[in-house]
Structure 1
């Protein structure tokens, strides 16, 4: 599904800042994985590499068989739009658009006809138990409901993998647990999910935990598997 081999990322400055130092990581289809580490450990940079939002300084990133470093920007953007769903801590919803519009917009660059986009959006909102609020706006929702909309938008196109960056970070404990229960349900339905988190309690719920520190993987509960 996703493979990183000896990935380095150094940001130019004086002196240069190494953010990733030789990271190798394989995510298999259907896995639910937590990438966990403290602030400044390289988690966000790793997310950017996995999500093709940035290119490594060296090393390779393969997504569903495609070597991303060999793709021009336009093809890479198309691959990202079709193969990856993103969930962010800040939700990033259009405040004055309906929930249906917000989720349907996740399919804008896929070539899917207008009517089908909205049918799929309604189905995705039903999957996160918001089918009764299709025409509400994000300003009318709680934080937990907004995050459910963001998850619906991430999965509406049936991406190969969902990358979630601190999806419970802006939520109270009870609401965060509800979101994680939803993540568990999506995983059981076959979605491949990677969650970036600094919260060890969140990571402990995941079948696989990859710990990152100082730009390197220091432990992986899947180490040694065939």
Structure 2
């Protein structure tokens, strides 16, 4: 739990530096500033608020929808830097990039960014986990990508049908030895698998934990010793 008395706003003209990190992947998303009010609003709302010398106070994602749900806040030893671990619902950078730091993204970061986007779509969707068909809601002004993700989340039959189709297409591409096509099909399958996992109540972090457990080297098994008759041992 963050102790507000630990924060020192005076060193930087009433502001502290905020380093925002993806709680799932560990990737640094952005560096910004916050005043006392922004920190207090962050604690109350559970979403990141910042302060800009040019823009003034701002709630991250209030306009774009790319909010950042707070997982934890921690001050550094001097109290003038705050580490914010968050679950991002969309890209952090105004350019549309996942991170404001060019070259910071890895394969894992891209997957966590995709998972975060799907999680953001799920917030406004009526996720269907039942066997009966679920009629999709009116999408209004949602963009095409968001509409498709929400449609999958809200329609169990469509979601599972598409998952099966993507798996079959990947098998066909691999059977044909078509590398470019197989690469695209893997990307499609990962997307549909993450949507299905989110609808089931899971996330990429759950998969990461399973993979980490499986990657842990197993202790070598000891060969069972053959019982020896004490009478057969030679005397030394």
TM band (smaller chain):
under 0.3
Compute the TM-score of the two structures, normalised by the length of structure 2: 0.24
Where relative contact order (Cα < 8 A, 6+ residues apart) is larger, the structure is 1
Q: Which structure shows the bigger proportion of residues in helix conformation?
A: 2
Larger Rg: 2
Normalized against structure 1, the TM-score is what? 0.25
Higher strand share: 1
